[in-house]
Amino acid sequence: MFHARARRPSRRIDDGAPPSVQSAEQYHRMMFFQLLDNILESINSRLHQKNIQFYIEAEEFILSSANKPLESPEDRAAFVRRIAAVCDHFGSDLDPRSLTLQLQMLYDLMDGKSASSLSDITAALVTLGPAKRLYSELSKLITLLLVIPATSATAERTFSCVRRLKTYLRSTISQPRLNHLLFLQTHQDLTDNLDVKAVARDFVAVNDYRRNVFGSF
């Protein structure tokens, strides 16, 4: 008697899942834990990016300089290493000697007040008024940290300019024309100040055919 050979499901279909699911509850539980694992993996990969780690370490370095003075040789050695790491990251944007001196003065600037974030240090610098120039390198470092791209993720909007300009009814628009329309859409303040008659005159003056069709303005 001939028996059909049992066939395993394709890997593309199986994808590492159990060969069979006994009930809907078991399937929902399996999908829930799989989704939970994907979320945790995405969070861990996002929080362990190089830029985020550098931002955290640099912020802790500034806050530690504001909250306690350098007393032990170990603290001074760690301070020198962190200064070197920060200056190596930003290159010629920072002066290491000036930044070292200003960070050492930061504890006296706070005058015993505890700094829990960079905004506390920024508020202390603002109160100095014109004397803020004494902490120019520190202000520059804080500015660089506040504008650093901590992640590579970009915002995606449902209602984008491209979708409004290049619709299903206007799908054959060429790339140069689309670029020009996007430029006008992005810089609306400049577009509103254009002289429409001057633009029309430049358009008509290109050749004789346009001058015959549109006349003069």
pLDDT in tens, 101-160: 888 888 888 887 888 888 888 888 888 888 888 888 998 998 888 877 655 555 555 567
SS3 52: helix
The verdict on residue 11 lying in a domain is no
Residue 207 is classified by DSSP as -
Residue 148 is classified by DSSP as S
pTM score of the predicted model: 0.50
Terminal C-alpha separation, the chain: 95
Tell whether the model's pLDDT for residue 211 goes beyond 60. Answer: yes
Residues 97 and 186 placed together within one structural domain of the fold: no
Range of the domain at 194: 161-214
The verdict on residue 9 lying in a domain is no
CB 137 within 8 A of CB 98: yes
Residues 131 and 166 placed together within one structural domain of the fold: no
Residue 72 is classified by DSSP as S
The verdict on residue 43 lying in a domain is no
CB 165 within 8 A of CB 185: yes
* Closest by Cα among 126, 125, 129 to 109: 125
Residues 141 and 165 placed together within one structural domain of the fold: no
| Domains: count for the chain | 2
The verdict on residue 21 lying in a domain is no
Residues 96 and 125 placed together within one structural domain of the fold: yes
- Domain end call among 147, 173, 200: 147
Residues 143 and 54 placed together within one structural domain of the fold: yes
Residues 208 and 129 placed together within one structural domain of the fold: no
SS3 176: helix
The verdict on residue 34 lying in a domain is no
Residues 129 and 188 placed together within one structural domain of the fold: no
The verdict on residue 26 lying in a domain is no
Question: What H or E segment, with its residue span, contains residue 47?
Answer: helix 24-47
Residues 78 and 137 placed together within one structural domain of the fold: yes
- DSSP notation for 136-173: HHHHHHHHHHHHS---------SS-HHHHHS-STTTT-
The verdict on residue 113 lying in a domain is yes
Residue 151 has a pLDDT of 56
pLDDT in tens, 27-69: 888 888 888 988 888 888 777 777 778 888 888 888 888 888 8
Residues 167 and 139 placed together within one structural domain of the fold: no
